[in-house]
Amino acid sequence: GQNIDQPTEMTATEGAIVQINCTYQTSGFNGLFWYQQHAGEAPTFLSYNVLDGLEEKGRFSSFLSRSKGYSYLLLKELQMKDSASYLCAPMDSNYQLIWGAGTKLIIKP
């Protein structure tokens, strides 16, 4: 079967760094997306990894290891507005995104 494993909830302090881990199992693999979803809103695209390694985009970076079925999202210089759910979504062999419940990130002052 296909599944995604992310922590349900994480707490971090404003200004700090947090790493959100994601392990996945899919039927085939065509890359992995990270989305941010604020409460009551639709998801917004953060990053896409298809090759192994780290992709950096401003305060956010995403890492992928295809052999381990593992990815993480790294958020630096945390701001209060970063409080949201973060969704790890691998794409399977049919180019369908597989969705889990995501990780709710709580930022404290």
Partner 1 sequence: GAVVSQHPSRVICKSGTSVKIECRSLDFQATTMFWYRQFPKKSLMLMATSNEGSKATYEQGVEKDKFLINHASLTLSTLTVTSAHPEDSSFYICSARGTGAQETQYFGPGTRLLVL
- Residues 72, 65: Cα–Cα separation, whole Å: 9
> Contact between 90 and partner 1 (CB under 8 A)?
no
Residue 52 in contact with partner 1, rule: CB under 8 A: no
Q: Among residue numbers 11 through 30, which ones bind partner 1 (CB under 8 A)? A: 30
CA distance 67 to 81: 33
CA distances from 48 to 12, 35, 62, 89, 94 (A): 24, 9, 8, 9, 17
Is 101 one of the binding residues for partner 1 (CB under 8 A)? yes
- For residue 108, the one-letter residue type is K
Single-letter residue type at 62: S
3-state secondary structure of 82: helix
DSSP 8-state code for residue 91: B
- Using the contact rule CB under 8 A, the part of the chain among 13-21, 52-60, 65-73, 94-102 near partner 1 is 94-102
Q: Does 45 bind partner 1 (CB under 8 A)?
A: yes
Q: Which stretch binds partner 1 (CB under 8 A): 11-19, 31-39, 56-64, 66-74?
A: 31-39
| The one among 33, 63, 72, 86 contacting partner 1 by CB under 8 A | 33
Q: Which residues form the interface with partner 1 (CB under 8 A)?
A: 30-31, 33, 35, 40-45, 48, 50, 87, 91, 95-97, 99-102
